[in-house]
Structure 1
Amino acid sequence: MTPLRLTAFGAALTLAALTGTGAAHADAPTAAPAAAVSASTVPGFSDGYGLTLVPGSTEVHSPTDFTITVTTKQLSGKHRIRILLPAGYDTDPGRRWPVTYFLHGGGGNVNDVAAAPALHSDSMITVVPDGGLKGWYANWLMQNTAEGAANWETFHLTQVVPFIDANLRTRVGRAHRAVVGLSMGGYGSLHYAQARPDLFGHVAALSGGIDFGKPEIRAAVLATELNLTGAWCAASSSSSSSGSGQCAGYGPYVDSDAIFGSPYPVFGADRVWKAVDPAAPANLAKLSGTGITLYTGNNDLIDVHTEVASKTVKSRLDQLGIPSRLVNYGNGASLAPSCDGGHNYGCWAPAFADYIPRLEAAFTAAG
């Protein structure tokens, strides 16, 4: 192990110690078991865009809430996509709908959406693709780790999005498509909106790791690679088998350079980190014409860093003349009684309840 790797390990350990093993995360409602509803009550899907459906794997929670499972050469194993339809989807067959993609946080999965009821809207389709326990919405630099193939960005942007458009009655075009996420998914949402401004006209990042210039955020990524639980887990309805809301882990240990390469600014070693940094002015400039919303608290050892990151992004957007909205709810008192200003669904659920009506209005205004 090189001295740099030892330093990376130490940095990740430090962050894990600061955040504790899930201690910073409040419990969220446990996911309801799938209802006894036949798969024939939900829309049929066909293979395409590199995705192959796993036969007999559809989980039907209700006629407007179901999960399909797919395989792809871009990722090892099977991966779920949870889909929430508006109530009128079946009864109004001539109508097409805008789509919001929800990106879950580290240590979470597609069932986390159950903890944010506002995301199940009667004005849009919500799609929740698997993002991996530590996928970081990236095409990993290393493809030969214990995780195997890990091209998450390709999976989401060039496979899932067109697959959904081909199988559901969606409204295509960036004005009718949003990407939102929290924690690790907050990074993913802002990065995806920058990588593909042609796809997404609206973006929201909640308590996101959105400034790779911050050593603490780079250390959080390292902690997930090394499976040091407690570092930015997304406490959710499914983060542990007990439903306690505590993060169960990030999967197998992988090399500390596996996702974005070396995090150290030595002779350009951190070039990938810089290239995908959502807070980099060159990347923020790509969001011109995009509806941008940021939410953060500042009342625990995680959101104290997301607050700084969100303020940095907001300031740089202002300097670029790009409109954006930052909701800094501090200790949570201004947001909701359930919110303590920390890194949890007690804050994220009401944040989405604030955001979704605004997004619905933007979709309606787009015609």
Structure 2
Amino acid sequence: MTSLRLATLGAALAITALTGAGAAHAAAPAVPSAVPVPVPVSGPVSSPSPSPSPSPSIPVFSNGYGLTLVPGDTEVHSPTDFTLTVTTKQLSGKHRIRILLPTAYGTDPARRWPVTYFLHGGSGNVNDVEAAPALHSDSMITVVPDGGLKGWYADWLMQNTAEGAANWETFHLTQVVPFIDANLRTRGDRAHRAVVGLSMGGFGSLHYAEARPDLFGHVAALLGGIDFGMWQVPAAVLGTELNVTGAWCASSSSGSGQCTGFGPVVDSDAVFGSPYPVFDADRVWKAVDPAAPDNLAKLAGTGVTLYTGDNDLIDVHTAAASNTVKARLDQLGIPSRYVNYGNGASLAPSCDGGHNYGCWAPAFADYVPRLEAAFAAAR
């Protein structure tokens, strides 16, 4: 069906959308005192010499792997917190990559660091990481790539919508990851690389860990749309494609004060094709479903963590999806850690069990030390 035919259905179903809220306003981590030094670049690059650094206090980056830096469009928030702007043929327009370095990155030039990729939720952006201070760790590099307002961490089936080129998965996995490894002192093996995400990004993190187990040895999905067998998850995707902003605002408990919407309306089949199980029309949905046993089986040897609450209109569904994924992982004999904090009382005073950074931030505060320990144990 076209987006016009599905508009009424999308509006009705998007009340249960599982996408994340826009950037929440929370206190940013304290500015570290260390000043990084320029970093020599390894690996193939598209230019013979590094691009000039916008500031002497942050590493020098070079174009490469299909990414071109936009000169003069780097934001330096602090010496260990900065945002690059890049272009790529895989996506229309300019896109940002926020990078958080450990305090000692510049003072310990012989050391290489694990890397965690944080995938934000729908209608969010790279600045959402400010609301989760635990992700600015002194034990790892955190990279926050743009995921689009409704990119769904996928190479879209339709490339001729109002969004234009939309190969988000290719951008992240074949461009951003090697670009970071080439430009920063990283530990490049899977045991020292993690992918974590919330809401729409929870789908993205689990999907990416399944799609590229060679890249990621650790994955965490927070309140994610991770079971495409539930009608509520395709409904969420349709809601973002059709930009049913009003329904999302009505159901959101984020408290962020923002409702920016999901960008221009696109065809309801734009991302994954038709969701209807008729003549195999839903084949793309089946292929990328994180809860499919064949996909979950790819997580053998990966550290898997799931978090969810169950106390609002959205998270009763993320809890059901997480329950399914946990049960199937158990059936496959794949160890995992599952935290359902219910109404939030067991997690933090700020958490009401809903779909918001009042819960996501303390969930990351619980998870990051465990991830740091896993990185250290993998030496």
Superposition TM-score, scaled by structure 2 size = 0.89
Equivalent position of 1:149 in the other structure = 165
Q: Which amino acid aligns with 1:13?
A: A
CA-CA distance at 1:27 after TM superposition: 5.8
2:200 to 184, 201, 217: 184
Q: Which residue of 1 aligns with 2:293?
A: 281
The aligned amino acid for 1:43 is: P
2:238 is paired with a residue whose SS is helix
Residue 204 of structure 1 aligns to which amino acid in structure 2? A
Task: Select which of 18, 26, 29 maps to 1:29.
Answer: 26
1:301 maps to which of 313, 316, 323: 313
Partners in 1 of 2:140 and 2:248 — Cα distance? 29
Task: Say which of 273, 279, 288 aligns to 1:261.
Answer: 273
State yes or no: 1:270 paired with 2:268. no
- In the alignment, what sits opposite 1:333? 345
Q: What CA distance in whole angstroms lies between the structure 2 residues aligned with 1:20 and 1:85?
A: 30
Q: How far 1:40 sits from its partner (Å)?
A: 1.7
Q: How many residues matched?
A: 357
Contact 1:142 1:259 in 2 (8 A): yes
Listed as ranges, the matches of 1:58-73 within 5 Å are 58-73=74-89
Residue 106 of structure 1: CA displacement?
0.1
Aligned match of 1:108: 124
Whether 1:167 aligns to 2:183 is yes
Q: CA shift at 1:16, angstroms?
A: 3.1
Question: Contact (CA 8 Å) 1:79, 1:130: kept in 2 or not?
Answer: yes
Distance 1:145 1:351, change over 3 A: same
SS of corresponding position for 2:347: coil
Q: What SS class does the counterpart of residue 262 from structure 2 fall into?
A: coil
Is the Cα contact below 8 Å between 1:220 and 1:231 reproduced in 2? no
Residue identity in the other structure for 1:9 = A
Whether the 8 Å contact between 1:103 and 1:188 is mirrored in structure 2 is yes
Is 2:366 the counterpart of 1:357? no
Secondary structure in 2 matching 1:160: helix
Contact preservation (8 Å) 1:235, 1:246: no
Task: For residue 267 of structure 1, report the CA deviation from its aligned partner.
Answer: 1.1
TM-score (norm 1): 0.92
Separation in structure 2 between the aligned mates of residue 339 and residue 26 of structure 1, nearest angstrom: 17
Equivalences for residues 183-262 of structure 1 within 5 A: 183-229=199-245, 244-262=256-274
- Matching residue of 1:127: 143
Contact 1:202 / 1:292 at 8 angstroms: preserved in 2?
A: yes
CA separation in 2, counterparts of 1:120 and 1:231? 33
Q: How far apart, in 2, do the equivalents of 1:81 and 1:29 lie?
A: 20
Q: 2:177, 2:106 → 1: CA distance? A: 21
The CA deviation at 1:124 is: 0.1
**CA distance in 2: counterparts of 1:297 and 1:11, whole angstroms:** 27
- Stretches of structure 2 that go unaligned for 5 or more consecutive residues are 36-53
Taking structure 1 as reference, are residues 67 and 21 closer, same or farther at Cα in structure 2, changes over 3 Å only?
A: closer
Q: Are the structure 2 counterparts of residues 186 and 231 from structure 1 closer, same or farther at C-alpha, using a change threshold of 3 Å?
A: farther
**Given the alignment, which residue of 95, 98, 102 partners 1:86?**
102
CA distance in 2, matches of 1:120, 1:285: 31
Structure 1 letter corresponding to 2:13 = L
SS at match of 2:322: helix
Aligned CA distance change for structure 1 residues 202 and 269 (closer, same or farther; 3 Å): same
Q: Which residue of 2 aligns with 1:139?
A: 155
Shift of 1:29: 1.8
1:63 partner amino acid: P
Equivalent of 2:10 in 9, 12, 36: 12
The alpha carbon displacement at 1:5 in A equals 5.2
Structure 1 pair 87/339, CA: closer, same or farther in 2 (3 Å)? same
Query: 1:358: how far off?
Result: 0.1
Instruction: Please list the CA deviations of residues 207-233 of structure 1 after superposition, one character each: whole Å capped at 9, or x if unmatched.
Output: 000000010010000000001126668
Secondary structure in structure 2 of the residue aligned to 1:83: strand
Residues in 2 aligned to 1:21 and 1:289: alpha-carbon distance in whole angstroms: 28
Query: Percent identity among equivalent residues?
Result: 80
Aligned 8 A contact 2:99 2:143 in 1:
yes
Alpha-carbon deviations, 1:151-174, whole Å to 9, x = none?
000000000000000000000110
1:305-336 deviation per Cα after TM superposition (whole angstroms, max 9, x unaligned): 00000000000000000000110000000000
Task: Give 1:74 shift.
Answer: 0.2
Cα distance in 1 between the residues matched to 2:18 and 2:258 = 11
Report deviation, 1:20: 12
1:97 match: 113
Deviations 1:225-267, CA, capped at 9 Å, x for gaps: 001126668989xx9xxx9442210000000000000011111
Distance 1:20 1:363, change over 3 A: closer
